[in-house]
Amino acid sequence: QWANMVIALELYSYWLIIADDTEFRSNVAHGLALNDVQAMATFLRNFTFTLLWNLPMATLSLPNQHFKTSEGITTITLDRLRTAALRVMKQIYIRDSRRAFLPDSFWLMTNKFDMEVFIPAAVEEEERRYELSLVDEDDSDDDDSQNTHISVNRTIGSSGPAPAVMSRLNILQQAPFFIPFNIRVSIFQAFIALDQARRVNANTGNFDFLMGTNSRHKADVRREFLLEDAYEGFNKLGPDLKSAIGVTFYNDYGPEAGIDGGGITKEFLTSVCKEAFNPSHPLKLFASTAGHLLYPNPAIGSPISRAMNDNSVSERITYRRRQLSYIEFLGRIIGKCLYEGILVDVEFAPFFLQKWTNRNVISNSNIKSSFDDLYWLDPELYNGLIKVHKYPGDVEHDLGLNFTTMHIDDRGQPISIDLKRGGGGHSLAVTNANRLEYIHAVANFKLNTVLQVQTNAFITGMSDLISANWLSMFNAPELQMLVSGGSAGIDIADLRRHTLYGGYLETDETVSHFWEVLEEFTDVERRKLIKFVTSVARAPLLGFEVLRPLFAIRNAGSDKERLPTASTCVNLLKLPDYKSKSLLRKKLLYAINAEAGFDLS
């Protein structure tokens, strides 16, 4: 009874949209018990895997295929069945990702793949996808009717390949959680390497590009005006920011000496991120939640009243355009960090991260945050709206709410926002009958409406360097790990295996003391050391083997009064030859807790 199955899935999907997490987990009056949800998830996982992996041609070769019921009256399309199954599975996965209720590794389908073969095969499919996209561009002027059959059957968006040859990309873009995270990270990095190889091939006759010297895009950056000079020097590059860049820093005394072997570029990117994503920056490009998680400043998306004088409106519009241009540039900066594999110590809010994929691969629509995402933005407001939703008395009489919400605009002034699209929210009372509409309208304004232009600007910039198709392989917490590294503890053995030495041998007394002290450190202290040396408190996702440059320890002389220092731009720890383990521990702890590097001695 396929028709019954589709109807049941579509009804349950609608309920999942309007139900909050507390309703989903408590199952007081509606929905399913969690053990029934697990049974459904198991079926959908296996069923959708079959559709994506074994029947990749289904939506191409059978676009109008119908399945009849036993009576032969009601029919459904295969595409409708696939869409319904994928949507509900994804909705259950999102709930499980937010607050786990399914067993560990529940979603993995590793028994279905040979992982050693999967990665190169996925890269090969990505190359075919790219070639097909070029063919589509060449044929863009052809008769639309010739392309209709292909264009409506893309894996993702209008630039994806026909799914007939893309089994692995189908999995990665529509159900990436079937594949272990570390494998997807390797695929992501392989996709970047493939793109880099394409750029080299496209410039085979360009000697400067191949040598990577004169082809560098260069800029002079004053420390005092770091973000402004970075913007002026590199924003105009757009996608060409993928190329090597050259930076000359200027301080109060003039240009700083240094040859960029990668270290200065890293220092430039991490420094720009540290300054620009600071909510206290004068441009006020980003704001932070109570949990210190970053998202675009909502004031930038505030409505501007035309009741003000024309000059004031014009000035605010001009300034807002400037802010949006800077946010777009920051999207490119984060894209550059991802493209170069440079970790930055910036933590974004989950509701912002999940928009990075830009397109929902199931509905092919712009991804919007849901009501439960409001918890990450404003837990107090979220809990208040939950109480409104579950209030047992007369909402209209007892609570006295209407369809408006308060918002702080770009002047720092509180304004009342009408939540009804056609207006009239100020005179429309919230009642028991419409309170569900009200709480979702508040969440939609806070998470989507007022953040839309800023988010679109950021994503536009980032997509110049990183394809949304690649990012669609990850959920919000995983995207954060791509930006700032893994959340697991620091693996000392892995770090030691991939450490270089200058002026020391690994068997030297001070080096041996260093590793013994590091083993004795708490995880917090280890993270402080890693941040002291690399500028980021987390290890690379695939281990210290991929840290660039590699972690290094250099002999800083025999002066036992000196403190350890670091050059974060090249991941270098300058460690005096203390000889004494207790002295080394004391000096090292002092240095990492002081959070100073170059100038501490």
Active site residues: 569
Q: How far apart are CA 55 and CA 79, in angstroms?
A: 12
Angstrom distances, CA of residue 375 to CA of 290, 349, 351, 478: 10, 11, 10, 19
Identity at 445, one-letter amino acid code? F
Up-side HSE of residue 44: CA atoms within 13 Å toward CB? 27
Q: What is the phi/psi pair of residue 248, to 5°?
A: -115, 115
Strands, E assignment, 346-393: 359-360, 365-366
User: In degrees, to the nearest 5, what angle opens at C-alpha 571 toward C-alphas 568 and 576?
Assistant: 90
Please name the residue that has the structure tokens 């599975």: 89
CA dihedral 67, 69, 74, 76 (to 10 degrees): -30
| Sequential DSSP letters for 228-286 | HHHHHHHGGGGGGGGS-EEEEEEETTEEPP---SSHHHHHHHHHHHHHHT-TTSTT--E
146 Cβ neighbours under 8 A, 6+ residues apart:
139
Beta bridge partners of 499: 551
CB-based burial label for 393 (10 Å; 0-12, 13-18, 19+):
exposed
Strands, E assignment, 404-472: 404-408, 414-418
